[in-house]
């Protein structure tokens, strides 16, 4: 059961994504929540404290590696999603693990 | 910028594609990530729409793009409806475009209060109409 939540900005995607992830976690015992937004705020919608939400770890880009697939260079995972969730997953209520994929650094230090 | 959007999009696609348990991905707002096929590996695409034209138009385009990517289940979640008129507008729009509605989540002060207090909706007001409505969406997806 893999669900993507899309929509125009401000429509309430993140509240729905966070709430769904927790409800699926309750139901199935565990769930993975993936924050693909460049201004990530799924953490708070999942119930993690707002203080410190901006300093939560993000998944480093070297979990991807270039590999030749059918003669074409592609970015693929170098680790399994389970390993990635174990190392960079942030525990949230109801058995959810949160992976934050990226954050635009407005301070320009990146 | 710490990392480019392209890497984040590939990472999202690959992670979700290889995940074995229940997975919910909150995508970047808008449509740009569809052109890179970011949500190509999911079983369900839920497009959240509000009852106003620009949100519905963007939603309709997201549904089309999701279908082009071959996502098995694609539907809209109608969020923040305040009245029967809102609901009728969303229903008519979606019927006209052949978009199935996967759920209705009413406008709910509890969502705003939860956001203001930095809490999850389920921790702030689990019995609120919005929380109950999202629970029915979860039931219909999981059931």
Relative to beta strand A31-35, strand A64-69 is unpaired
Q: What is the pLDDT of residues B59-116, one digit of tens each?
A: 999 999 999 999 999 999 999 999 999 999 999 999 999 999 999 999 999 999 999 9
Q: Where are the beta strands (DSSP E) in B82-130?
A: 101-106
Residues B23, B13 contacting (CB under 8 angstroms): no
Q: Do B41 and A2 touch (CB under 8 A)?
A: yes
Residues forming a β-bridge with A96: A31, A92
For chain A, what is the domain count?
Answer: 1
Nearest chain B CA: its distance from A50 CA (Å): 6
Residue of B nearest to A82 (CA): B19
The answer to whether residue A105 is domain-embedded is no
Residues of A in contact with B17 (CB under 8 A): 2
CATH 3.40.50.620 given to domain B42-107? yes
Q: What is the pLDDT of residues A59-108, one digit of tens each?
A: 998 899 988 888 988 888 999 999 999 999 999 999 999 999 986 554 44
Q: Do B19 and A75 touch (CB under 8 A)?
A: no
The answer to whether residue A3 is domain-embedded is no
């Amino acid at each position: 059961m893999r669900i993507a939540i899309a929509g125009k900005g401000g429509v309430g995607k993140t509240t729905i994504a966070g709430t769904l992830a927790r409800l699926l976690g309750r139901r199935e015992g565990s769930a993975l929540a993936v924050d693909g937004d460049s201004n990530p705020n799924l953490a708070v919608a999942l119930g993690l404290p707002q203080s410190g939400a901006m300093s939560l770890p993000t998944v480093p880009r070297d979990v991807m590696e270039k590999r030749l697939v059918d003669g074409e260079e592609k970015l693929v995972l170098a680790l399994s999603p389970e390993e990635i969730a174990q190392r960079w997953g942030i525990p949230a209520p109801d058995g959810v693990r949160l992976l934050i994929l990226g954050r635009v650094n407005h301070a320009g230090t990146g | 910028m710490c990392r480019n959007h392209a890497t984040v999009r590939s990472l999202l696609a690959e992670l979700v594609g290889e995940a074995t348990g229940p997975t919910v991905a909150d995508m970047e707002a808008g449509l740009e990530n569809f052109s890179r096929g970011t949500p190509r590996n999911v079983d369900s695409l839920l497009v959240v729409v509000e009852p106003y034209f620009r949100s519905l138009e963007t939603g309709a385009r997201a549904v089309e793009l999701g279908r082009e990517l071959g996502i098995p289940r694609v539907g809209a979640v109608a969020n923040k409806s305040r009245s029967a008129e809102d609901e009728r507008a969303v229903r008519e729009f979606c019927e006209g475009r052949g978009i199935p509605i996967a759920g209705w989540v009413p406008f709910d002060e509890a969502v705003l209060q939860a956001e203001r207090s930095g809490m999850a909706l389920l921790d702030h007001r689990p019995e609120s109409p919005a929380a109950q409505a999202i629970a029915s969406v979860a039931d219909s997806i999981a059931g």
